[in-house]
Structures are given as structure tokens and as C-alpha cells.
Amino acid sequence: MPDTGMDQDVFEAFIDQLKRYVRERLIPAEKQVIETDCIPDDILAEMREMGLFGITMPVEYGGSGMNVSQYVETIRQLSYAMPCYRSITSINIGMTCSAIVKSGTAEQKAHWLPRLAAGEIASFGLTEPGSGSDSAAMATTAVRSGNGYVLNGTKRYITNAPFAKVALIMARTSKEALPKNAHVSAFLVPMDSPGVSVGKSDKKMGQAGSHIADIVMEDVHVSGDALLGGEEGKGFLIAMQSLNNGRLSVAAASVGYARRILDSATRYATERKAFGEPIANFQLIQAMLADSQAEIYAAECMIADATRRADAGEAVLVQAASAKMFASEMCGRVADRCVQIYGGAGYLAEYEAERFFRDARIYRIYEGTTQILQLVIAKNMLREFASAA
């Protein structure tokens, strides 16, 4: 059955509230976030009060029960502000929560979902120093020990690791990857478990206030009920299903931020004068604005189609990959045009165009690089072609 999600009238009222909150509260706080490299505690408390950490979780567990379309629209609106506000919530609502809802046991859902909906922060541990999309190279192990497991390994570039209360960790439970990817299992690991440590936050090109770090596990003992779904060998499937949501989230973030960037470029073009008139009157400036508007619209249409299909119960691996690939590349082009429209000012840190350019760059990398997504899309195309022949 189609997922109708939250009552539409209630959702529209929520979006109106969120738009005001983004413009009246989150954007004015950006200067403080940049200076301190963290989101103020009072804003985090407000975001929790608004339910932003639990929008996709079932109502019975304290969430809002949004469907994919509503969740992605919420991310798009939230992402008009700087990226850290999405980053702090997105792992909860787009990846860890969806994995627990789809694959967790009743006990795991009852234990973790209310906590995550209330605003406890989660991390998603797939990438390692020697592997990312290549699951066959995964080195983190989970070895049976009595009624539980012992985990050893390092996860790298893990968003929210310094703040997380729990991490969904992908680990190797068998040596062989046969049947395909059956060596990977998923574990819900409390971050205060003995043997878990978090590296220092990595210094990044952009996205102030959002933190990534290594998660290191040394002889970490977890009970058997930490195995997501109570079944080994399902970790890669769980990760890929969660990545569909993650990729749609990044696509929506790219569109939301591209809109902010284009608004900034348009405003600057109408204010900056050259040869006695606003540069917005010059046709080559107008061409850059028009190209940006058209590309944002195209990405919005792709996302709308992908989320509609997801809510209808269709598999959206290719659609999510395509939307993320296009939207993230589009955001980079819009950010580049914004710098160009600002001219010399666009290269100066005192103007926001420079920050937009740095912030947008990561969208083409995480949740699957553009090149990995090209492979995902092409392989599925070729597989469908062969099956139809």
C-alpha cells in the first residue's frame, strides 16, 4: 500500500513553521556557528522540541510518521540554512531510523526509536580507511563470543561521531563474501561501550558546525540483541536500503542550498553596479541566473518523481542515485556561478559566496561519489537490458 505519511494539512502547517524558523532563527545564528564550529545548544534544544530528529519515525515510537516525500521536502526546506543543521538530524531520520524500522526486531524498535526520535544522535558506520563502496574490502570484524559478538575495526569519516549515543556499524561476520555481500552484518553499538573510542574531529574544507571523526573499536563486546534484525548477512542490504534515503536526503540538501545560493547571487546582481547600472541588467549575468534556475527546477522534478515512487513501494535505487548525482553536481555549478557573479568579492571570505562554494563541494562525495553512482546507474541499466533481451 502507498505510504500516505503525515496528514497533509498538518504537514503543510509544519513546513510553513519550518520555513519561518530557518529564516528567522537558523540563518541569523550562522555567524555564531562559523565562529564556534558548533550548533548552539539552545538551537539544538529547539530542533528537538520541533521533532526534527524523529520526523520519519512511526508515531507509536514518538515520531511524526512522515513518508519519504514529506521527509525529503523537510530536508529541502531545512537545507536553505547552512548544512550543519541537516547533518545533525539526517543520520537519525534518513539512515539509522529507516534501518531499524525496516529491519529491526520489535525489541530493537522499542528500545532505540523513542530515544532517537527525542533527539539522541546516531551515527552510521560503513566507510573504513580501506573501504567504502567496496564492501568486499571491509576489515571491521564481528566474531561470535558466547551469546554476543566482539567487534574490532575502524570506521572513517563518520558524521556526528563526536556526538553520537549509538552507531549502526557494518561489520564482517564471515570471511567469504558469498553469496554476494553476505559477509556483512549490521550492529547497533552504544557509543559508551567499553573499547569504543572516537578520534578528534577532522578539519574540513567547509560545512562548519558539522563534525566527522573516526570510530575505533577494540574488543568491543556487544550482546546478541545488538545484531540488527537478529540475523547475520543482511548488513549490506540494510546499508544499501538506508543509502537510498541518504542519497535522497543529499539530493534535497543540494537543492535547498542551491536555492539559497541562487537567491544570494540574484540579490548581489541587483545591488552591484557596473557601468552605471546593476549587473543584473547584463545578459551574460542573466544567463548564469537562468541556467541555475532551470537546473534547480530539473533537480526538484527528479526528487519529486523518486520520492513518489518510493512512497508507492517501488524500488528506487536508480532514481535515488540519479537524483543525488544530478542534484549534487548541479549545486556545485550554481555555487561556481555565484562566485563568478560576485566577481572579486566572491573570492573573499567576508562574502558568503566563498562559503557556499566550499560547503557545496562535499555533496558530490558522500553517500556515494558521482563516479560510484555512475557505476550503480550503468550496471542496473545493463542488467535490465540483458534481462529484456
Which residues are tagged catalytic?
367
Give the integer Cα–Cα distance in Å for 237 and 226: 17
Give the CB-side neighbour count of residue 209, counting CA atoms within 13 A: 26
Give the integer Cα–Cα distance in Å for 91 and 108: 17
Look at residues 122, 91, 119, 84 and name the one whose alpha carbon lies nearest to residue 209. Answer: 84
Contact 74, 245 (CB under 8 A): no
- CA torsion angle for 137, 139, 140, 146 (degrees, to 10)? 110
**144: how many CB neighbours lie within 10 A of its CB?**
11
User: Residue 262 is placed in which grid cell?
Assistant: 541562487
**219: how many CB neighbours lie within 10 A of its CB?**
11
Contact 265, 226 (CB under 8 A): no
Give the integer Cα–Cα distance in Å for 118 and 51: 7
Give the CB-side neighbour count of residue 123, counting CA atoms within 13 A: 29
Give the CB-side neighbour count of residue 37, counting CA atoms within 13 A: 9
- Residue partners of 281: CB distance under 8 A and separation at least 6: none
DSSP H helical segments within the chain, as ranges? 8-21, 30-36, 41-49, 68-78, 84-90, 97-103, 106-117, 235-271, 283-311, 317-342, 352-360, 370-388
**298: how many CB neighbours lie within 10 A of its CB?**
14
- CA torsion angle for 117, 119, 120, 122 (degrees, to 10)? 70
CA 208 to chain centre: 16
What is the length of the chain?
A: 389
